[in-house]
Structure formats: C-alpha cells, structure tokens
Amino acid sequence: MKQRSITSVVYVVVWLALCAMKWLVPDGWGSLGFDAVFCAISILGSLELLRALKGISYPQKIVTIAFCAVVVPLYVATQMTVNAGFIAVACCFCLYALVLAALNVFNHGTSTVKGTATCLFTMLYCGVLSVILSAVNHVAHNSTAAIITLFLIIMLTDSLAFIFGITFGKLAPLKLAPKLSPHKTVIGGVGGILGGMIGAVAAYFIYYGLGKVIGTPLVYDGSVHPAVVFMLMGLVTSVIAQIGDLFESAIKRECGIKDMGKLLPGHGGVLDRFDSMLFSAVVVLLGFTVIIA
C-alpha cells in the first residue's frame, strides 16, 4: 500500500506538471509532454502484452513493437501540420498489417496466423488506443479541459470504487465479475460511477475557474448546462473505464499472470495502470468533438 501511494503521488505530480506545460506553452507545443507519455504507454504496453501472450515469433514482435513506437508520433506530426492524423494512422496500420501478413507467408514455419492475429490485436489495443489518447490531447477546442476531464474521471473512479468496496463490501458483497476479479464488488462499481461523475463535474469547474483567470473559456454552444453534459460524460466514461479494467483482468486470467509488469511499484505494469484510460479516451474524445464543441 505504501508503494502504491508513493507511485500515485508521483503520478499526480507529473500529471499536474504536464497540465501546466500544456496550458502555458503556446501553439500546441505544450501538448507534446502528454504525447510523449502516451507514446511510452504504447511502446511499454506492447512489450508487456507481447510478453504475456504466447505463440508470437520474434519477427512478428519486432514489427508490432515498431508500429506501437511510431504510431503516436506519426499521428501528432500529421495532425499538427496537415490535420490528417487519423488518415495517417489508418495507412500506417494497413502497411504494418501487410508486413505481418508477408511474414505469415514467407516465414510460415514460425510466424503463425494466430500470432498475426495476436499482433494485430496488440497494435490496436496498445498503439491505436494510445493514439486516441493523443487525439484527446489535440482536440480542436477545449483540449486542456478534455485532458483534465479524462484524468479526473479515471482517478476518482478508481478511488471511490476502492473506498466503496472497502467500506460497504461486507454489507453488499455481490461480486461484479467474480471469475475475473473476485475482489471487485457491485457496490464498488457504483462508487466508481459516482466518482467518475464527480470527477467530470470537478473538471468542468476547475477549467471554468482557470479559464476565467487566464482568458480561455470553455467553447460550448449547447442548450443544456455544460456541467450536466460533463456529469453524463463522467457516468458513461466511468462505466467504460471499469469495463476496460475488467478486460485487462480477463487477459491476465487467460495468461495465468497477476500483473502485466513491475514498472510501477504497487500498481504493476503500464497496462495495469492505464487500461481504464485507454478505453475511456474513446468516450472523452467523442464527448469533446461531437457534443461539447
């Protein structure tokens, strides 16, 4: 628990520093700090996942890791210059998929179809979802609000799910997914949803207050009060975050491992810490591109 707390404090300090950098450095260059973190998640996550999964040849691993290493920088470069980040990512994915297919043809003795499918899954899970994180970081309007919202929802979802589970777990012991994570309870899940909603509303008021001071108000033209929109986004995002966490548990269960890695003391590996965020980024991106602005 001590290690977990220390890691969490470091995590929050780094996050605050990156938020300050993003807000204060002009012309989008301040966003590159978060992009570097998301690129690291893509690379380190792919290493962890490929180590856990079996039946993958060495050449297949190299191709998969190479994709996860280049895809976030590729998105950022093309998005900031010609506003075509997702087109570049789609082309890159197809190119690397063709290379994997060629390996399956010309190195069929060791590069199996199952290994190819596993590599494609890794590219999507670690690489493309990390690109979605960078897309949240580069939305046309309210990108700082989007990053604050994403992180606060995840942090408060995890925190209140833990607190509710510890406090009320014995009174309401119904398990959320007993075959995947026997310690998670339904009441903990409810606490997580409440935490996600609180985190989203808090993100709105934090951004609203700082925006008043610095002069960067929220861009929003809807008829419903934005705090309500944020609260609903927090509800949906929290549910998806918990599904992402349980999905990671399913992978670990099938691989017969407890943690994906040991890089983050008290938390496990990169995927153990950021599994919820990878899934949640999709909801936050849609919320900030379709609904809020």
Split at pLDDT 50, 70, 90, the class of 188 is very high
Split at pLDDT 50, 70, 90, the class of 183 is confident
pLDDT at residue 123 in the model = 98
Averaged confidence pLDDT in the chain: 92
User: Between the CA of residue 230 and those of 110, 137, 266, what are the distances in Å?
Assistant: 49, 17, 31
Is the CB of residue 269 less than 8 Å from the CB of residue 48?
yes
Q: Is the pTM of this model over 0.85?
A: yes
End-to-end CA distance of the chain: 40
Give the SS3 label for residue 175.
strand
How far, in Å, CA of 33 to CA of 35, rounded? 5
User: Between the CA of residue 209 and those of 175, 212, 221, what are the distances in Å?
Assistant: 40, 5, 18
